[in-house]
Every structure is written in C-alpha cells, then in structure tokens.
Amino acid sequence: MSATAELKGAIFLKNTLILKGNIIYAASGSELTAVENGYLVSEAGVVAGVFPQLPERYAGSEVRDYGDSLIIPGLVDLHLHAPQFAIRGMGMDLELIPWLNQYAFAEEKKYSDLEYAAAAYSAFCAALKSGVTTRAAIFASLHVPATEILMDMLEQSGLVTYVGKVNMDRNSPDYLVESTRDSISDTESWVRRSLETYRNTKPIITPRFVPSCTAELMTALGEIAARYNLPVQSHLSENVNEIKWVKELHPDCETYSDVYDRCGLFGQQPTIMAHCVYLTDYEMDLVRERGVLAVHCPQSNINISSGIAPVRRMLDKGVKMGLGTDVAGGFSISMFRAVADAIQASKMYAVLVDRSQAPLTLAEAFYIATKGGGSFWGSVGSFEPGYEMDAVVIDDSDIIGNSPLTLAQRLERAVHLSDDRHVKAKYVRGEQVM
C-alpha cells in the first residue's frame, strides 16, 4: 500500500475516508459497475459516492492510493459453523446425517473444553479475517462459555457478525443435547449478556434444525426472538433424507417450512434459512412473502451429496438470496470460492436438471455474495451512496496476465485464482481492520 496526502488548501473533513483504485461492485444482479482509477469516498463509515475525479469539497482530505489494485465491497458469508472449522475437508464422502454423526457432532463435543475452544476459535477467526469476508452469520455450538469466547474474538477482529448459540434438545448424541428447559433459559441469559457487551458481534437465535429441536423449544426460541427483536438462522430442506425425517416427526405439517412457521421462526423476525435445495413452489412463495433470506451453499451441497439448489427459480420468484461457505460441509472458508462454486453448480443444474434455467453470471453471483447477503444488515454490500462502507483491496498484479483485461475480467480472474495473499487491506464500516 502507498498512502499519499493530497493537500490542496481546503478544509479537512472529519471522519472522511477516501480510497483510490480500480473500483468495481454490483448494484444489481444484471451488471457490474466499474470505475478505473476512481475514488471511493465515505463519511462516518457510510459511502458518499464513487467518483472518477475527486470532488472539490474533499480537497485536503487524505487519499489512500492503492494504485492499480481492485477495490470491491466486502463479501458476506451468511452460513458457516465456527466449531467445524477444525474438521474441514473431512468426511466428504458421506451424506448429511452420517456426516453429522461421525464428524460434526464429535467435533462440537470438544467445545465443552474452553482451552480447546479458545485455540480452535482463534484459528477460525484468523482465517475469517484474512480473506475477503467482512460480515458473517455464524453457528457456534450449544456451549455458552465457548460461544462467548468466539464472540469476544470476533469483536476484537473488527468484522461484523451474528453469532448463534446452537439449540438442540432431541435426536442428538447424549453429549450434545440439552434439556428443553436449560436450552431456553441458557439462551435467554446469553442473549441479555451479549446485547450489553458487544458492538459489532450480535446474537442470533439458532435452532440447529427441526430434527434436533422439539416444537416446545422452537416455540420458546421464537418468543425470545420476538421479545428481544433478534434475527433467526437455521437449516431448511438441505437433504432428501432430512426432509423425510422432518415429515415423520411432524406429520401434521405440510412442509418443512411450516414447522418453523408454526413456531414463530419463519420471517416473524429477520430470518436466514440455509440451503433450500428442495423447496416446493408453495414454500418458495412463503419464503418470499415472509422476507426469509435463502442462503445458497453450493460447495457443501455437493460435498455431502445433498443436491443442487434451484437458484435461478428462486431468483425469478423474487426470493432474497445470499451465499454461504457452510464450513465444514464446505471445506473452504473463501467467499470467492463460494462465488465460483455457485456459478459452476448453476451450470450443472441447467445441464442435469432443467435446461430452461440459465446459469448464474458473474455479476449475479457476485451480487448475491455482496449486496444480497449484505441486505440482512440493511444497506450493506454495495458502494452506492448511503451504504455502510465495507471494502476489500485486492492486489491482482500477479494473476492479470499479459493481455489487457477489463475490470470485470480482472474481478472474474480474482474470484477464481486469488487467495488471501492477494488481500492487501480490508475496511468495515469505514474502519481499517487489516
């Protein structure tokens, strides 16, 4: 990075941040907006605009000049499991339920040991911070003390996150199941402490999924979410056998979505539902009507043989969408990898399932990973005026090649070929975090 102060005798504007470089973002899914050698200006952490020349009113303000680097909005990971980071890349030949039983649950058991939790979460937070992710919605484990260790570390990272203490009171190993009463009381106590403690790290109500939570527990969690005005996250229609299991457990409910809906966990508060691979048309309409945000996790869906989510159909129906890495069903914590995987998965859906469903374009996948997922926080994920200023600087000089490339082509190449070593700076709400 080279930082230069361009002083022209004008009055310095307080809390103004100006980044100079090749700026590219997706205000919509239809096209990318690109400004070569432009200026990204924010005031008090909010984008004031992107300009080809710096407006006179900002003369005298410091300009952080990143030369020929790309400047993009921070990417948003709307679904991942922090305690599973240590087992990423393991058990990838299994389907969901066997994988949970053999790998995920056994690993999450270890988070009753706070020394282990601190070491594992330190590695997780370092990896999350070093990449292109600036915001994330994260599952912890059911252990409150370990969850608070994770939240402490994320707060120190400067990233903006939601973290969920996971709830499980049935159909789980003895070492990873709570009594319904304890699950409810522990969750509410944790919520109160969290709301008083953190600025950037907030609690989110997190029933693991329907098979592991009784209706009594889920209804109580819905009441806690309403009482404290908290968002909700869980899993929905990830795997065929999972869906059959839900039907056996709740024969009175027509669909998987209806179970959550009856318990006050389906859009009554801002809601994230991961996967949504096998939604019926009725469920897609309900998701849209309730404003539930569906999170596509392509790598995980492939790794544990769940299927291919019908992303194009959901977009056409007006369903709000984000992307997730779903570590450790997904083996990579890279949101660039999630963008590339989403495009590839959509091509396989078109070839193998429905040729009328056009694959995702780079602009669409990048939009879902930035502004789409960012919408869960409000005006996040774009460089349009009024959006919170989350930005990542990518030095792609060693992967550009010899032929001239447009900024869109450089972004595509960075999505597929770059890694954390290419991240030269990262800003969240206008504050530099690396």
User: How far is Cα 61 from Cα 338, in angstroms, rounded to an integer?
Assistant: 37
What would the DSSP string read from start to end of 136-174?
EEEE--S-HHHHHHHHHHHHHHT-EEEEE-EE--SSS-G
Q: Are residues 366 and 303 in the same domain?
A: yes
User: How far is Cα 18 from Cα 54, in angstroms, rounded to an integer?
Assistant: 9
Residue 6 class from Cβ within 10 Å (0-12 exposed, 13-18 middle, 19+ buried)?
Answer: middle
Q: Are residues 231 and 123 in the same domain?
A: yes
The residue-averaged pLDDT of 273-289 equals 98
Please report, rounded to a whole number, the percentage of residues in the chain having pLDDT higher than 90: 95
Q: Which domain holds residue 22?
A: 2-74+382-432
Q: What is the rounded average pLDDT for all residues in the chain?
A: 95
pTM attached to this predicted model = 0.95
Structure tokens at 290: 């309730």
346-362, pLDDT tens digit by residue? 999 999 999 999 999 99
CA 33 to chain centre: 22
What would the DSSP string read from start to end of 183-240?
HHHHHHHHHHHHHHH-SSEEE-BEE--GGGS-HHHHHHHHHHHHHHT--EEEEES--H
Name the domain boundary from 377, 404, 420.
Answer: 377
Q: Are residues 275 and 424 in the same domain?
A: no
The residue-averaged pLDDT of 275-283 equals 97
User: How far is Cα 72 from Cα 21, in angstroms, rounded to an integer?
Assistant: 10
167-195, pLDDT tens digit by residue? 999 999 999 999 999 999 999 999 999 99
Q: Are residues 205 and 59 in the same domain?
A: no
Q: Are residues 169 and 258 in the same domain?
A: yes
Residue 86 class from Cβ within 10 Å (0-12 exposed, 13-18 middle, 19+ buried)?
Answer: middle
136-147, pLDDT tens digit by residue? 999 999 999 999
Q: Are residues 123 and 8 in the same domain?
A: no
Q: Are residues 341 and 419 in the same domain?
A: no
290-340, pLDDT tens digit by residue? 999 999 999 999 999 999 999 999 999 999 999 999 999 999 999 999 999
- Here the CATH number for the domain that contains residue 398 is 2.30.40.10
The residue-averaged pLDDT of 108-119 equals 98
How many domains would you assign to the chain? 2
Q: Would you say residue 130 has pLDDT above 50? A: yes
Query: Residue 13's pLDDT band (boundaries 50, 70, 90)?
Result: low
Q: Would you say residue 132 has pLDDT above 50? A: yes
Closest CA to 199 of 230, 166, 158: 158
Q: Are residues 46 and 129 in the same domain?
A: no
Please report, rounded to a whole number, the percentage of residues in the chain having pLDDT higher than 70: 97
Query: Residue 218's pLDDT band (boundaries 50, 70, 90)?
Result: very high
Q: Would you say residue 279 has pLDDT above 80? A: yes
The pLDDT of residue 163 is 99
- How far the first Cα of the chain sits from its last, in Å, is 12
Q: Are residues 229 and 153 in the same domain?
A: yes
Name the domain boundary from 348, 377, 406.
Answer: 377
- Here the CATH number for the domain that contains residue 371 is 3.20.20.140
48-71, pLDDT tens digit by residue? 999 999 999 999 899 999 999 999
Query: Residue 8's pLDDT band (boundaries 50, 70, 90)?
Result: very low
Q: Are residues 246 and 343 in the same domain?
A: yes
The residue-averaged pLDDT of 103-113 equals 97
Q: Would you say residue 234 has pLDDT above 70? A: yes
Query: Residue 9's pLDDT band (boundaries 50, 70, 90)?
Result: very low
Q: Are residues 259 and 297 in the same domain?
A: yes
Query: Residue 14's pLDDT band (boundaries 50, 70, 90)?
Result: low
Residues 6+ apart with CB under 8 A from 44: 15, 430
Name the domain boundary from 352, 377, 402.
Answer: 377
The residue-averaged pLDDT of 120-124 equals 98
Query: Residue 264's pLDDT band (boundaries 50, 70, 90)?
Result: very high
The residue-averaged pLDDT of 264-293 equals 98
- Which residue blocks in 209-361 are alpha helix, DSSP H? 215-228, 240-249, 256-262, 281-290, 298-303, 311-316, 335-352
Q: Are residues 68 and 207 in the same domain?
A: no
